Amino acid sequence: MSRHTEAETRYQSTRRVTLVGAFTNGALAFLQILGGLLVQSQALIADGLHTLSDLASDFLVVFAARKASAPADQDHPYGHGRIETLTTVLLGLVLLGVALGILIDASNRLMEPETLLAPGPIALLLAATAIIAKETLYRYTVRIAKSISSGMLLANAWHHRSDVLSSVVVLIGIGATLAGFPFMDALAAAIVALMIGLMGARIIWRSASELIDTGIKPEEEKQLLDLVSGIDGVTGVHELRTRHMGNGLLADIHVEVDPRISVSEGHRIAESVAQTLRQTRDDLLEVLVHIDPEDDRAAAPSSHLPSRSELLNKLRLQWQPIPGALPMDEVVLHYLDGHIDIDLHLPLDRFESAADAEKTRGDIIRVSQEIAGIGQVRVLLS
C-alpha cells in the first residue's frame, strides 16, 4: 500500500468514527443541557457543555484528518502529519477552556448557597444515559484509533472517556443532592471541571513534546542501535536521532563501514539499514542513513584537507618529472582521521622493465607524501 493510499484510508476511518461521535455528542448535549435547565441541575448542564465541546472537537478532528492525509508537497516535504499534532493541542485547549468556565460558575454557586440548583429525579436517568452512550463511543473510537495509529483520534477518544468519568461524578452528585445534600450538585460540577482540565493539560503536554521534537525512549533507541550493529557490513553505529511526526516517526542514524569499500557498496549497506529499521517499526516514515568511514566523534576532522580536484592538481605537478607516472589512472582518495590516504593503479605496459616500474612506484610514493596532509600511498602495479 502506498503512503498516500494509507493516508487516505486513515482519513476515511477517522472521518467515519468522528461523524458517529459528532451525532452522538450532538444528541447528548441537547438532552443534557435542556434536561439540566428543566430539572435544575448545574452538574448536568456542565456535563452537557463538556459534551458540546466534544461536538466542536469532532468537527476539528475531521478537518485536521483531511489536511493531514494530504501527500507531501514542495512546501511540506515530510507530509502534513504535524497538523494532527497541532489539532490535538487545540483539543486540549478547548478542554481547558470548558473546565475553567464550569469551575468558575460552580465556585460562585458554592460561595452563594442561595443560587444552588435543586435537580429533580429525572436528572439521574439523563446522567445514566450519558454514561452508557459515552462509554460505548469511547471504546469504539479507541479501537479505530489504535488500528490506524492516530494520536489525534486517541486524544479524542480520551475526550469521550473524560465525559464518561464526568457523567459518573454528575450521577453521584445528583443522587447526593436528592438525598438531602444541596451543595453536592455544584460540587460535582466543580469536580467535573477539574477532571476536564487535567485531561486537557495531559493532552497538551503530550502534543507539545512532539512539537519540540521529543525522540523515542532510551530503551527503544538502544534496541534499534543493537539491531543495526548486527547488519552485514556495519562496523559501528552512533548518533541515532528520532522525532515524531503525527502518527509516524522520522529518524537519522550514523553508520560506520569499512573506509575502503566502494561508494555503491556503502549505499547498499545504507539501504539495508533503512529497510531493517522500517521492518522493525511500522511507524517509521523516513530514515536517513549517514555513512561514516570512521567514528567521527573520535577521529580527527578532514574538512581542512584539499578537495579531489585540488589534490590531483598538486599531485600532477609532483609526478610530472617522474617517467611513466602520468597520466593518472584510478586514483582513489580516502579521507581518514585528518589525512588523505591514496590508492592508485599504475599499468606495467608503460615501462620497459619491472625495475623501471618499481623505481617509478617508489618515486610516486616519495613525492606524494611531500604534500601536506597525505598519509599512506599505495601504488598497484599491473
Burial grade of 58 (CB within 10 A; 0-12, 13-18, 19 or more): buried
Per-residue H/E/C for 287-335:
EEEEEECCCCCCCCCCCCCCCHHHHHHHHHHHHCCCCCCCCCCCCEEEE
Domain limits, the chain: 3-211, 218-292, 308-381
Distance CA 344, CA 356 (A): 17
The topology (CATH level 3) of 218-292 is Alpha-Beta Plaits (3.30.70)
Summarize pLDDT for 15-61 with one digit per residue, the tens. Answer: 788 788 778 878 888 888 887 777 777 677 777 777 776 676 666 66
What's the whole-number mean pLDDT along residues 84-109? 77
Statement: residue 382 has pLDDT above 80: yes
Return the closest-CA partner of residue 225 out of 210, 214, 211, 215. 215
Q: How many CB atoms lie within 10 A of CB 40?
A: 16
The one-letter code for the residue type at 191 is I
Cell match 512532539: residue? 210
Summarize pLDDT for 66-82 with one digit per residue, the tens. Answer: 665 566 666 655 555 66
Summarize pLDDT for 173-201 with one digit per residue, the tens. Answer: 777 777 777 777 777 778 877 877 887 88
pTM: 0.58
Q: How many percent of the chain have pLDDT more than 90? A: 24
Q: Which residues neighbour 370 within 8 Å (Cβ) at sequence distance 6 or greater?
A: 318
Statement: residue 245 has pLDDT above 90: no
Same fold, 218-292 and 308-381: yes
The topology (CATH level 3) of 3-211 is Alpha-lytic protease prodomain-like (1.20.1510)
The pLDDT assigned to 264 comes to 93
Summarize pLDDT for 290-325 with one digit per residue, the tens. Answer: 999 888 777 778 888 999 999 999 999 999 999 998
Statement: residue 212 has pLDDT above 60: yes
CA–CA distances in Å: residue 164 to residues 20, 139, 192: 17, 11, 10
Contact 43, 119 (CB under 8 A): yes
In the DSSP assignment, the letter for residue 178 is: H
CATH code for residues 308-381: 3.30.70.1350
The pLDDT assigned to 117 comes to 52
